[in-house]
Structure 1
Amino acid sequence: MFDFNLEFARGGANFTTELFQLLAAGGLQQNIVFSPFSIQACIALAFAGAQGETAEEIAKALRFASDFPPEVAETFQFVLDKYQNSELLKVANKLYVQEGKQLKADYESSIKEQYHSEAETINFGNNMDAAAKINSWVNAKTAGKITELVSADSLDANTRLVLLNAMHFKGSWAHKFDEASTEEDDFWVGEEQSVKVQYMNQKAKFGYGWFEDLNCTALDMPYQDSDLSMLVLLPQEREGLKDLAEKLKTVNLVDLAGKLEVEEVQVKFPKFKVDYSIELADKLKQLGITKMFDEGAEFNNLLESPEGIFVSKVLHKATIEVNEEGTEAAAATGMIMMTRMMMLPTQFQADRPFLYCIWNKRNIMFAGAFVNAPAA
Structure 2
Amino acid sequence: MRVFLFVLLTQALLCKEVFGDLSSYEKEKHESDDHLLQMVVEGNVKFAHNFFSHVANEYPKQNVICSPFSVSVLFSMISAGAKGQTQKEILEGLYFNTSSNAEINVRKGYKHLIQILNQANSDSVLSIANALFAEESTTFLEMFLKALKDYKVEAIPIDFHTPAEAKNQINSYVEEKTNGMVKNLLDSVDNKTVAVVLNTIYFKGKWKYAFDKKLTHDADFYVDNKTVVKVPMMRRQGLYRMAYIEKVGCTFVEVPYVGNFSAFFAIPDHGRFQEVEKALKNNCIPEWAKEMKPIRIHLLIPKFQMSSTFDLKKELIALGIKLVFSDEADLSGITGFKNLKLSKAVQKAVVGVDETGTEAAAASAGVVAVLGVSAKAVVADRPFIFLIRNIPAKVDLFFGKYLNP
Same fold (TM over 0.5): yes
Other structure's SS at 1:324 match: coil
Q: Note closer, same or farther for the CA distance 1:66–1:29 as it changes in structure 2 (3 Å cut).
A: same
In the alignment, what sits opposite 1:341? none
Structure 2 Cα separation of the partners of residues 315 and 248 of structure 1 = 23
The residue that corresponds to 2:339 in the other structure is: 308
* Aligned-residue offset at 1:195: 0.8
Within 1, Cα distance between the matches of 2:396 and 2:320?
21
Percent of counterpart pairs with the same letter? 28
1:48–1:107: 8 Å Cα contact kept in structure 2?
yes
1:220 alignment counterpart? 254
Extract structure 1 runs of 4+ deviating beyond 3 A: 1-4
1:302 Cα deviation after fit = 1.3
- Superposed CA offset, 1:146-166 (max 9, x none): 0111122xx223211111001
Q: Which runs of 5+ in 1 are unaligned?
A: 331-344
1:307 deviation in Å? 4.2
Q: How does 1:1-376 map to 2 (within 5 A)?
A: 3-25=35-57, 28-64=60-96, 66=98, 68-87=102-121, 88-112=125-149, 114-152=150-188, 155-224=189-258, 226-237=259-270, 239-303=271-335, 305-328=336-359, 346-361=376-391, 362-373=394-405
TM-score norm. by structure 2 comes to: 0.83
For residues 96-129 of structure 1, give each alpha carbon's deviation from its aligned partner in whole angstroms, at most 9, with x where no partner exists.
Answer: 11122122112212211x1011112211121100
Question: Which whole-Å CA distance do the structure 2 matches of 1:66 and 1:168 have between them?
Answer: 30
Q: Distance in 1 between matches of 2:342 and 2:200?
A: 19
- TM-superposed CA distance for 1:214, in Å, is 2.8
Q: Secondary structure of 1:275's match? A: strand
SS at match of 2:238: strand
Q: CA shift at 1:27, angstroms?
A: 5.6
Q: Which moved more, 1:92-101 or 1:256-265?
A: 256-265
Cα shift readout 1:316-374 (whole Å, capped 9, x = no counterpart): 101001000000159xxxxxxxxxxxxxx93211111011010124111111001111x
Cα distance change, pair 27–99 in 1 and its aligned pair in 2 (3 A)? closer
5+ residue gaps, structure 2, are: 1-30, 362-374
**TM-score for the superposition, normalised by structure 1:** 0.89
The secondary structure found in structure 1 opposite 2:266 is: strand
| Structure 2 counterpart SS, 1:356 | strand
Q: Distance in 2 between matches of 1:356 and 1:130?
A: 36
Alpha-carbon distance in 2 for matches of 1:100, 1:27: 41
Residues 126 and 156 in structure 1, CA contact (< 8 A), matched pair in contact too: no
Give the alignment's Cα RMSD to 1 decimal: 1.9
Give a deviation string over 1:179-218, Cα, whole Å, max 9, x none.
1111111111102321110100001111111112232111
SS of residue in 2 equivalent to 1:171: strand
Count how many residue pairs are aligned between Structure 1 and Structure 2. 353
Q: Determine which structure has more spread, i.e. the larger CA radius of gyration.
A: 2
Equivalent AA in structure 2 for residue 191 of structure 1: N
